[in-house]
Each structure stands twice: as C-alpha cells, then as structure tokens.
Amino acid sequence: MNVVVSYDVSEDKRRTKIHNILKSYGQWVQYSIFECELTDTQYAKLRSRLNKLIKSDTDSIRFYFLCACCHGKIERIGGQQPRDHTIFFA
C-alpha cells in the first residue's frame, strides 16, 4: 500500500526520533512528510513503533492512504524525485 505520513511534533528530540524511524520505511519528501510503500505487516510495525513514541496530547501523526490509481496521479513540482528501488550503489 502507498501511505503518505505527516507529523506535527513540537519537541526537537522526539521529532528527530520519529524522522529516523520513518527513514527506514519510506522516502523523505518534505519537512515532516514521508512517502512510504509498505506491506500490511510493515505498516503495522511502523504504526506501533510510532504509537509507542509520541505523546498523544501534544503530537500528531497522520497516515493518508493512496489507492493504486491515485498513486499514479501524484504530481511533483521541484524537490526530489522518487528513488529507484531496484539497485543501490555504494
């Protein structure tokens, strides 16, 4: 599934932690916004990890699901293009 995750966290330390977790699941596209392509299990794991971390009275995280046909209609102006996931070089 394709998920857009956005978060609003006031405390710097916790925001960095959230950012760091999200980097393991998807691509950072804008400040506080990630695009992730996940299986059900991966989504469940991500959700539970974030859930444990945030303080629900001050922070918020949103997951927007994109269906396959909407995912193809994303328009991007500027910024980073989606990363190619078939090969990585170091």
Cβ of 38: how many Cβ atoms within 10 Å? 18
Instruction: List the structure tokens of 6.
Output: 């956005």
Cα 53 to Cα 17: distance, rounded to the nearest angstrom: 8
Question: Could you say whether residue 86 binds other proteins (CB under 8 A)?
Answer: yes
Q: How many residues bind other proteins (CB under 8 A)?
A: 15
Choice from 20, 31, 40, 57 touching other proteins (CB under 8 A):
20
27 vs 32 by CB, closer to other proteins: 27
Helix (H, G, I), strand (E, B) or coil at 40: helix
Question: Which positions make up the binding site for Mg(2+)?
Answer: 8
| Contacts to other proteins by CB under 8 A | 20-21, 23-26, 38, 42, 84-90
